[in-house]
Amino acid sequence: MRDRQLAPGIVAGRLDPAALQGNFTDLHPPLDDHEALVAADRCYFCHDAPCITACPTSIDIPLFIRQIATGTPEAAAKTILSQNILGGMCARVCPTETLCEEACVREAAEGQPVLIGRLQRYATDTVMDQGVHPFTRAAPTGRRVAVVGAGPAGLACAHRLAMKGHDVTLYDGRDKPGGLNEFGIAAYKSTDSFAAREVDWLMQIGGITLATGQRLGREMTLAELQEDHDAVFLGIGLGGVNALGLSGEDREGMRDAVDFIAALRQAEDLSDLPVGRDVVVIGGGMTAVDAAVQAKLLGALNVTLVYRRGRDRMNASRYEQDLAASKGVRIVTNATPIAVHGNGAVREVEFEYSDDDLRPTGERFRLAADQVFKAIGQTLEGADLPALDGRKIAVSGPGRTSLPGVWAGGDCAAGGDDLTVTAVAQGRDAAEDIHATLMPEG
């Protein structure tokens, strides 16, 4: 039986290794010392800095930039990492163009913000390259906490709890930690195994035991974790993928975009990774853009990203949309998939144009496709979870769930915006609340 991911037209090695290496280099090369000083000199060091308010982790941005400007990037790194322990990854993947940099006074006055993200990377890379961990673990408290999910929320929660002296067991269902940072980020945004190196660096705090291959509902239950630990934090992300609900959705060549990105992230040799000639990506978020761009970088001839609403409604920022277009990705909006055509393997996807309220116009078109990536959102998986708010875990305040002693944060929790930086903030804040609950007098 033919592998459904290797349908006709989907082949490996469309580009030679040198071209692939060039395509997947660092999207934004790191600043050198001189460039960092020049970039830092542009900051006004605003007293009421709007960039701080725009940062989900509330990093004191003017302070860390001043520390870079005065030649102390190590101090700048500690300022960043005290609020965002995954500041290195966030410097690479954060949509700074819609957060801190959009709020920058320089952006409002000149249309050219201070390079906050790249300066943050400069500072955090400096400390990580030195092998230095700027925090020390407090005296052991004797309290045990289970953190389920070793993605951004879980890692931030585990680190903060360990720093306060608690013993943390960090569980994850995959064979390595990192969550979306390891498996779900475009390869050109995080190169040189940075996600894994950042986890190793974070674990230097001590007090964290990593248990991989442990999935909630499979190797363990929430009730068992509650019985064996003083508190539980759930940072389990969204394991399921939404279906299109179309006839022919199971044809060869149809694939979830998250699986494609994960395979690319873990590939030892990109020339072994199959990609189609005519690729269609359905969706309008970051996952859709990442899948589309990387398909093009792997050598796909035609890549079309199709979204059901207008470009102004896409979850992917305008910067990311423009990046996709600059790489040769065609973006089609206000079009909804209605059928997948082919004989065993996908050959075409049929769409119908609609208005901004998703009302069909009656006008239809077809796109040739030998490979289709679905990127229309993910869903929460698991049984015996705390009460839900819609399709996610209901939380109040700093991540408290309906179950006493159980907190949640990151993509699995209601109220977030599915960003790495927001997940870090939620994990950090939940850890502070867990600590306050376990140690009310300390």
CA distance 165 to 109: 46
pLDDT of the chain, 442 residues: tens digit per residue: 334 446 678 999 999 999 999 999 998 889 999 999 999 999 999 999 999 999 999 999 999 999 999 999 999 999 999 999 999 999 999 999 999 999 999 999 999 999 999 999 999 999 999 998 999 999 999 999 999 999 999 999 999 999 999 999 999 999 999 999 999 999 999 999 999 999 999 999 999 999 999 999 999 999 999 999 999 999 999 988 899 999 889 999 999 999 999 999 999 999 999 999 999 999 999 999 999 999 999 999 999 999 999 999 999 999 999 999 999 999 999 999 999 999 999 999 999 999 989 999 999 999 999 999 999 999 998 888 999 999 999 999 999 999 999 999 999 999 877 899 999 999 999 999 999 999 998 6
**Residue range 236-250, pLDDT digits in tens:** 999 888 999 998 899
CB-based contacts of 223, cutoff 8 Å, min separation 6:
384
- What is the sign, positive or negative, of the torsion defined by CA atoms of 297, 298, 299, 303? negative
CA distance 344 to 341: 9
* Domain ranges (residues) in the chain: 33-129, 144-239+380-438, 241-378
Fold identical between 33-129 and 144-239+380-438?
no
Pick one of 2.130.10.10, 3.60.21.10, 3.50.50.60, 3.40.50.360 as the CATH number of 241-378. 3.50.50.60
**Residue 442: what pLDDT?**
63
CA distance 298 to 292: 10
**Residue range 127-173, pLDDT digits in tens:** 999 998 999 999 999 999 999 999 999 999 999 999 999 999 999 99
Pick one of 1.10.1060.10, 2.40.50.100, 3.40.50.300, 2.40.30.10 as the CATH number of 33-129. 1.10.1060.10
Q: How would you class 151 by CB atoms within 10 Å of its CB: exposed for 0-12, middle for 13-18, buried for 19 or more?
A: buried
CB-based contacts of 43, cutoff 8 Å, min separation 6:
62, 65, 66, 69, 106, 114
Beta strand residue intervals within 69-155, DSSP E: 144-148
CA distance 406 to 127: 34
Pick one of 3.90.100.10, 3.50.50.60, 3.40.50.170, 3.90.1150.10 as the CATH number of 144-239+380-438. 3.50.50.60
